[in-house]
Amino acid sequence: MTNLPHLLAVIGIFLTLSTVPTGAAHAGSGAEYVALGDSGAATTGVRNFDFSAPPRCLRSTANTPKLIARDLGLRLDDRTCNSARIADLTAPQEPGIAPQFDAIGPDTRLVTVHIGANDALMAEHIIACHLAGIRGGACAGPDWDADIDAIAEPYSAALQQLSSLAPRAKIFVDGWPRYVRDGGCPELVGLRPADAAHVQAAFDRLDTVVARSAAAHGATYIDTRAASEGHDMCAPAGIRWFDPVIATETLVPYHPTPQGMRGVADVLIPAIRASGLPG
């Protein structure tokens, strides 16, 4: 029998992580390396908590931007934060909370971007799919595709502004890896096999939208799907890149484990080096 109380508890955590804000100080002429994004780049949940960051951001000391900076010897201003949406790149997330672009300037040489899932309402649609498997009904309708497609215009506008603010910077946009294997698994409570495919297809569609925007605005899109094969949420603990609903490593379902952050960093770093950075 499906553990409904457990599922409802993790849904509460999932939605909380999609609505918490933070702030950051202005960086003037811009940091050498600026990381922009949402919880997919910011946090490893309850592990490796960065106490120097605003508490509500839940930034990790072992997130992908930190690993990139350490491996490449770059000075990082990590602005990634749980709940961030595209609008939070250019405007305060809340009164008194700085836009992430405040870290950008003419001295910025590298920018990594991982954002858009909150704008596409991924959490809400995914939760609906899990609950549909328990209560019956459809996983998701065409509105999910529409929500994903709708991020293209604001995402493109943000990249265009980013290029203007940091004309010397190399901009790398990383996509969403594989979250769900074909057929799903018991750890994905309530997710029926067909719905597992639907959820992964939504992440793949999100990748396509972001990749097109990156290509149109001079950014380098990094596909992380191939490297993540075999590391989805149904893989064993210590191997999977994301915790499932029955989360054992981070307590945050559908969010990166330390192995996931390392895995994405290992895809990004060679591409950054190949672009001539650092140097």
Structural domain total, the chain: 1
Residue 262 lies in a domain: yes
Of 39, 60, 156, 228, which is the active-site residue? 39
State the CATH number of the domain containing residue 52. 3.40.50.1110
29: annotated active-site residue: no
242 DSSP 8-state letter: B
- Residue 109's domain comprises 4-274
Which carries the bigger pLDDT value, residue 30 or residue 86? 86
User: What is the per-residue pLDDT across 212-257, written as a single tens digit (0 to 9) for each?
Assistant: 999 999 999 999 999 999 999 999 999 999 999 999 999 999 999 9
Residue 246 lies in a domain: yes
Of 125, 130, 198, 255, which is the active-site residue? 255
| Backbone φ and ψ of 189, nearest 5° | -50, 125
Residue 9 has pLDDT above 60, yes or no: no
pLDDT, average across residues 149-172: 97
39: annotated active-site residue: yes
Residue 279 lies in a domain: no
Residue 136 lies in a domain: yes
**HSE toward the beta carbon, residue 35, CA cutoff 13 A:** 26
Task: Determine the residue type at 118.
Answer: N
Residue 8 has pLDDT above 80, yes or no: no
Edge-first strand listing for the sheet containing 170-174: 76-78, 33-37, 110-114, 170-174, 220-222
Residue 188 lies in a domain: yes
